[in-house]
Amino acid sequence: MKTEVLQFLEQLTDAQHRMIDVLQRKQPLLVRPDNEALASLNGEEKIAVSTMQSLVARREELLESARLNNLHSESIETLCAV
């Protein structure tokens, strides 16, 4: 379980960095609208959002697995403490 949680946290960190990167590049394009550049970021943004959604589902799986193993945790943070 510990390895799975560590792997999840690494994946989450990577996904958050990718999302921040996309949003930082998108922000100036929204201020000075550049539809072509915005369209080129669209695919990256969709992938980043999909990855984050997958990680939310993975989080729930980890917490459910912990519950089934009598490691009652309401969050990944409390699971790490157990």
Considering the chain, what is the average pLDDT of its residues? 91
Per-residue pLDDT at 81 exceeds 80: no
In terms of phi and psi (left: phi > 0; alpha: psi -120 to 50; beta: otherwise), the region of 32 is beta
Rounded to an integer, the average pLDDT of 19-44 is 92
Per-residue pLDDT at 25 exceeds 90: yes
Instruction: Judge whether 58 and 12 are in contact, CB under 8 Å.
Output: no
Instruction: Judge whether 5 and 12 are in contact, CB under 8 Å.
Output: no
pLDDT confidence tier of residue 77, bands split at 50, 70 and 90:
confident
Dihedral of the alpha carbons of 19, 20, 22, 26, in degrees to the nearest 10: 130
């459910």: which residue's tokens? 64
